[in-house]
Structures are given as structure tokens and as C-alpha cells.
């Protein structure tokens, strides 16, 4: 009897193995016949999904060492392509930007607003029209200009007062950073700033933070994107409902601001982004695909999402690094004192501060926030290198891989601002392969604002405070953070000691 059981068990195992081998052979043959980029097969039904690990960007980069920089992976019912080096990203997103700049229709994108706003809209004439309007309007209200610098410094003064109020006691400044950075955007878009104690505003900021930094939420959304039915099954449904409730709250907050603007709207006196948009709504009339109040809500939501967490988290990485590396903090501080002294930091000072610029360049390389950027989608089939990539293929540009490729940067795992300073002249030398804001038609439209905020916030902080660790509250590592939609620092507390 035992022999029969053993034989049956052996037969089942053999059959299972044959199924796996047959599936692998068929999958490899189909991939070869279709001329898709190479990559691992994974397992039946799930593909490579169970093997992407906690750090997908690192997993895909390691796979590229075996299969080449352009790989394809089966993720359950969908094949995705990952670009793992600078040249392939440049070739796809810049040289072939018209093909690689679509957006996939995923479950969370549908909830966020598929086909509306800017971030999730497909690459079409309306996308170009809205993006152009947003950039032009933001520039008209100071983006990249002296007037924008004054708005940022106005907010920084409030933030410095908040830090002084802590009297050198350790605290977690996460929400305060995000609130302050978000207030800069509010000044441009809503025409006002909010007090730090304003509860509805802080709740909106917290929801923006959560959408980036909650790894459980990110995992749940990933599952739902692959298996939409999971949105109805606990506990995944709980996360999805929380995601939807957060979107609803944020949009309610934005709609209330739009309502307030409409009550005293004067087309001859534009105060901010909302007023400029309402002017376009009046011109466009009914049924315009770009300029209507719903679109305005989605566009503002996109701006807050892109312009809050990324900048505030980068600043938090800076502070955490200073707490770990007082030697680097001292180098930045010495340069600030030498060039700026007790004056108000301005963008004019930046050209005289090579080490500070190199530090910020290195922080955005080493701590790549949006490691795989937002997913792209091919808008038509394309012959790309030696491969055929079909229409509607999801494509991920692996920005983390570019930033951690030893072919691009010597000892990329080390944090070293000196790598961007010319040994002979001592001048700052930016590297073209540091691309935290991505490239191509869908590069982050808040890039200029983010760079200005990072420089002005950092120099003001270092000018006024010494970042010190609290011996009773151990710091998390600087090397890894919490990976949701972005990699952000783990929670920490530090002291801001007045100089």
C-alpha cells in the first residue's frame, strides 16, 4: 500500500513538473516568436510577481545583468517591460517619447481619474494642452523667478519659527515639512497659505504622505491592479476603501477652495492658478474636455501629489543624513557661513556653493524616491532595438538602476557629494545621468520648484540650526527607507539646536 502511495505521489510530482516545463517552453517560444525583450518566466498564472521582492527596482536591475538592460516580465495577466539603464530610458522616453508616454488604465488610476488631470491622462492632444497651460501659468506666478523665491522664503520664515518653538527638543518633523512645502504650492494655486495647526489642511497633507509612504497600502493597490476582484475581498478591500476615502477627502478640500474662488472671481484680476483656470473655463464654454471644474480639481490634485511628498521627503533624507554624518553637515554649514553669512539665502548664492549643490545632487541620486517613476504605456507598437514591443505594453523606467549603476558612478552605494566636484577647479559638475525627475514629455513639471525649495530650505536650516541626534532615540538607517509608491525615510526624531 505504501508503495502505491509513493508511486501516486511521484506521478503527481512528475506531471506537475511536466506542466511547468511545458509552460516554460511554450512561454519562451511565444516570447521569441513575438520578439519581446528577454526575461525570466516566473510561474504559471502569477508569472514573476512573487519574485520581485521588497525592492523591485533592485530585483529588475540584477535581472538586467543576465538578460540585458531591456527586460520583459510576466506579471499575472500582463507583460511589462523594464528599462534598466540610462541609454534605453533616453531612447524610449526622449527619442521615442510619442510612443512611450501613455499611461496604463490600472484600478488605482481609474479611481484617481483615468483620462483626466495631467498625471494619469494618456498622451494625447488634451494632455499636451493641459500640461502647457499648467507650466505657463505656474511660470506666470513666479515658477523659476525671483517672485517665487520670495514666496518660498515667506514660508521658510514660518518654518524657522516652528523649529525654534521646539527649543532643541527632539521631534519628528515629517508632517511639518510636508505642510510647509505644500503651503508654497497653496500660495501659487489657491492664493493663500494655511497655519500649521489647521486640521483640515494637515489631514490633506497626511493623506498625500500616506499615498506615497504606506507600504501596506501600496501592496494592496498592486494586488488590485493585477487582480481587480481583490478590491472586494478583506483585508485588501479595507485598504482600497481607505485609498478611495483619501481621494474623496482631498478632492473635497480642493473643491471647497474652487467654490470660494468662484464667489469673488474677477477675470480681470487673476490672483492665482485657480483664477487663471476659471478664466479658461469661461472662454471654453460647456463640454470642453480640458477646461471645466472637474478637470481643475484633478489638475490641482496632481500638483499637490507631485509637489508635496517628494520635496519634503528629500529634505527629510537630508536631515537624516546630517544626523548620521556630522562631517558632511559641517562642510555644508561652513560653506553656508562663508558665502551667505547672516544674510537671507537666495538663489544667487547657489553658484558660489559647489559643495551644497553637489550634496543636493547626490541626495537625489543616492535616495531615489520614485525608483520606477510612474508607469508608462506604449501608444502604438514599436520596433525598439532588436525587439518588438506591442501597443499597450506597460513600461517602467528604472531610475534607481541608473543612479546605482557602477558604470555611471564609482561605488554607487556610497554617499559622496565630492563625486560631483571637479578636482582641478573645485566647481560643481552635474551629471547628466542623475534623473530623479525622469525625462521626456512626462518629466515632473515641478522640477524647477523642487530644486529651488530644496536649496532654500536646506540653506536656511543649516544657517540657523545644528542637526543633532537624540541619544535616547536611535536613528533608523540612511541606506533604506519605507517603500510605498516612493522610498521615504523611516520615522525618526532629531534635535534642531539653534546656532
Question: Does the structure show a pLDDT above 70 at 307?
Answer: yes
Of the pLDDT bands very low, low, confident and very high (cuts 50, 70, 90), residue 344 is: very high
As a whole number, mean pLDDT of residues 157-166 equals 96
Q: What is the pLDDT at residue 289?
A: 83
Decide if pLDDT at 31 tops 80: no
Q: Quickly state the pLDDT bin for 226 (edges 50, 70, 90).
A: confident
Q: 210, 217 in Cβ contact below 8 A?
A: yes
pLDDT digit string, tens, across residues 49-105: 999 999 999 999 999 999 999 999 999 889 999 999 999 999 999 999 999 999 988
Q: What is the pLDDT of residues 382-391, one digit of tens each?
A: 999 999 999 9
pLDDT band at 7 (very low <50, low <70, confident <90, very high): very low
| Mean pLDDT confidence for 420-442 | 97
CA distances from 383 to 44, 387, 450 (A): 28, 6, 36
Q: Per-residue confidence at 26, pLDDT binned at 50, 70, 90?
A: very low
**Per-residue pLDDT tens digits for 398-407:** 999 999 999 9
Distance (Å, whole) CA 401 – CA 186:
34
Q: Which of 216-230, 247-261, 445-459 has the lowest mean pLDDT?
A: 216-230
**For the chain, which residues make up each domain, given as ranges?**
1-34, 115-368+404-498
Across 25-52, average pLDDT: 79
What pLDDT was estimated at residue 271? 92
Q: Is the pLDDT of residue 17 over 70?
A: no
pTM (2 d.p.): 0.91
Please report the pLDDT score of residue 243 as a whole number: 86
pLDDT for the residue numbered 320:
98
More confident residue, 110 or 301: 301
- Residue in 34, 70, 31 with CA at minimum distance from that of residue 385: 70
State residue 29's pLDDT score: 47
Share of the chain above pLDDT 90, in %: 71
Supply the pLDDT for residue 43. Answer: 93
Ranges 16-20, 446-450, 470-474, 483-487: which has the least confidence = 16-20
CATH tag for 115-368+404-498 (out of 3.40.50.300, 1.10.630.10, 1.20.120.1200, 1.10.3720.10): 1.10.630.10
Under the banding of pLDDT at 50, 70 and 90, the label for residue 2 is low
Question: How would residue 27 be classed by pLDDT, with cut points 50, 70 and 90?
Answer: low
Residue 433 has pLDDT above 70, yes or no: yes
The residue-averaged pLDDT of 11-38 equals 58
Question: What is the residue-averaged pLDDT of the chain?
Answer: 90
Amino acid at each position: 500500500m505504501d508503495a502505491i502511495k509513493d508511486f501516486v505521489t511521484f506521478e503527481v510530482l512528475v506531471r506537475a513538473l511536466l506542466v511547468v516545463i511545458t509552460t516554460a517552453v511554450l512561454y519562451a517560444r511565444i516570447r521569441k516568436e513575438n520578439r519581446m525583450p528577454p526575461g525570466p518566466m516566473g510561474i504559471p498564472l502569477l508569472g514573476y510577481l512573487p519574485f520581485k521582492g521588497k525592492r523591485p527596482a533592485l530585483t529588475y536591475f540584477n535581472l538586467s545583468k543576465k538578460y540585458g538592460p531591456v527586460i520583459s516580465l510576466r506579471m499575472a495577466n500582463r507583460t511589462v517591460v523594464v528599462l534598466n539603464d540610462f541609454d534605453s530610458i533616453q531612447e524610449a522616453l526622449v527619442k521615442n517619447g510619442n510612443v512611450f508616454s501613455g499611461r496604463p488604465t490600472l484600478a488605482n488610476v481609474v479611481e484617481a481619474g483615468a483620462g483626466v488631470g495631467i498625471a494619469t491622462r494618456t498622451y494625447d492632444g488634451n494632455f499636451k494642452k493641459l500640461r502647457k497651460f499648467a507650466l505657463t501659468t505656474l511660470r506666470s506666478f513666479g515658477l523659476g523667478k525671483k517672485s517665487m523665491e520670495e514666496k518660498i522664503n515667506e514660508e521658510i520664515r514660518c518654518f524657522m519659527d516652528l523649529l525654534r518653538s521646539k527649543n532643541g527638543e527632539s521631534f519628528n518633523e515629517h508632517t511639518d515639512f510636508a505642510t510647509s512645502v505644500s503651503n508654497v504650492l497653496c500660495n501659487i494655486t489657491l492664493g493663500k497659505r494655511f497655519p500649521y495647526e489647521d486640521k483640515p489642511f494637515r489631514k490633506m497633507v497626511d493623506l498625500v504622505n500616506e499615498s506615497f509612504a504606506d507600504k501596506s497600502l501600496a501592496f494592496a493597490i498592486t494586488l488590485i491592479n493585477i487582480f481587480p476582484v481583490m478590491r472586494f475581498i478583506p483585508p485588501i478591500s479595507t485598504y482600497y476603501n481607505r485609498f478611495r476615502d483619501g481621494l474623496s477627502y482631498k478632492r473635497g478640500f480642493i473643491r471647497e477652495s474652487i467654490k470660494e474662488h468662484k464667489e469673488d472671481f474677477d477675470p480681470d484680476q487673476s490672483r492665482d492658478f485657480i483664477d487663471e483656470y476659471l478664466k479658461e473655463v469661461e472662454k471654453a464654454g460647456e463640454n470642453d474636455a480640458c477646461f471645466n471644474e472637474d478637470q481643475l480639481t484633478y489638475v490641482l490634485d496632481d500638483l499637490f501629489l507631485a509637489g508635496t511628498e517628494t520635496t519634503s521627503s528629500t529634505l527629510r533624507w537630508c536631515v537624516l543624513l546630517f544626523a548620521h554624518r556630522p562631517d558632511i553637515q559641517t562642510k555644508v554649514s561652513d560653506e553656508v557661513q562663508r558665502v551667505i553669512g547672516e544674510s537671507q539665502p537666495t538663489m544667487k548664492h547657489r553658484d558660489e556653493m559647489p559643495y551644497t549643490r553637489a550634496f543636493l545632487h547626490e541626495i537625489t541620486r543616492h535616495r531615489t524616491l520614485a525608483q520606477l517613476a510612474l508607469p508608462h504605456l506604449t501608444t502604438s507598437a514599436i520596433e525598439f532595438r532588436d525587439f518588438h514591443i506591442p501597443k499597450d505594453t506597460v513600461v517602467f523606467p528604472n531610475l534607481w538602476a541608473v543612479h546605482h549603476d557602477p558604470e555611471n558612478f564609482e561605488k554607487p552605494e556610497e554617499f559622496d557629494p565630492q563625486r560631483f566636484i571637479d578636482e582641478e577647479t573645485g566647481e560643481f559638475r552635474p551629471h547628466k545621468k542623475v534623473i530623479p525627475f525622469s525625462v521626456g514629455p512626462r518629466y515632473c513639471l515641478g522640477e524647477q520648484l523642487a530644486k529651488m525649495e530644496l536649496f532654500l530650505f536646506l540653506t536656511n536650516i543649516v544657517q540657523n540650526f545644528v542637526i543633532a541626534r537624540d541619544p535616547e532615540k536611535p536613528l533608523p538607517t540612511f541606506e533604506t527607507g519605507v517603500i510605498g509608491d516612493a522610498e521615504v525615510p523611516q520615522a525618526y526624531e532629531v534635535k534642531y539646536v539653534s546656532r
